[in-house]
Amino acid sequence: MPIKLQYLGIRYLAEPARLILNYANEPFEDCRYSQENWEPIKASSPYNTVPILTVDGEQIAQSMAIYHYLARRFGLAGKGEIEIAKVEAIGEYFREMMNKILPYLLFLVGKNPGGTKVTVKILL
């Protein structure tokens, strides 16, 4: 059964999973939803959120869990405890950076009530 990745019609949290799958040359179904299309599906999803990775009928939710799973599956998680910790640190750094730029991304789509001043302050 092929792998299925579900997320909204943006890159954000699903993009590292897409990058890993493409790097591994693993075929997958890339389901991208509009906010309107996502709402009816939301209640039946794990934790009512995306991304969701489905492998052999099993759903894996939460972006970091998905990244870790894919990294292990395709031999990208590191060898030995120290290397594994360093790979995980890169993942955590990515998550922290995404959290920092989220206000700017929200501003770009018109959903940041703080406007440009708040966004610029956060980015600097």
Contact (CB, 8 A) for 59 and 46 = yes
Q: State residue 31's pLDDT score.
A: 95
Reported pTM: 0.81
Q: State residue 110's pLDDT score.
A: 74
Q: State residue 111's pLDDT score.
A: 72
Residue 25 and residue 44 in one domain: yes
| Ranges in the chain, pLDDT < 70 | 1, 113-124
Tokens of 120: 């610029």
- Number of other residues whose CB lies within 10 A of the CB of residue 63: 22
Distance CA 71, CA 31 (A): 20
Tell me whether strands 58-61 and 52-55 are parallel, antiparallel or unpaired.
Answer: antiparallel
For residue 64, the domain's CATH number is 3.40.30.10
Tokens of 101: 């730029």
Tell me the residue range of the domain where 26 lies. Answer: 3-73
Residue 44 and residue 93 in one domain: no
In b/e form, how buried is each residue of 70-86, taking b as 16+ CB within 10 angstroms?
bbeeeeebbeeeeeeee
Non-local (6+) Cβ contacts of 104 within 8 A are: 112, 119, 122, 123
Over the stretch 27-36, which tens digit does the pLDDT of each residue have? 999 999 988 8
Q: State residue 73's pLDDT score.
A: 97
Q: State residue 123's pLDDT score.
A: 56
**Total count of domains within the chain:** 2
From residue 61, give the alpha-carbon distance in Å to each of 40, 49, 55, 105: 17, 8, 11, 23
Q: State residue 115's pLDDT score.
A: 61
Q: State residue 23's pLDDT score.
A: 98
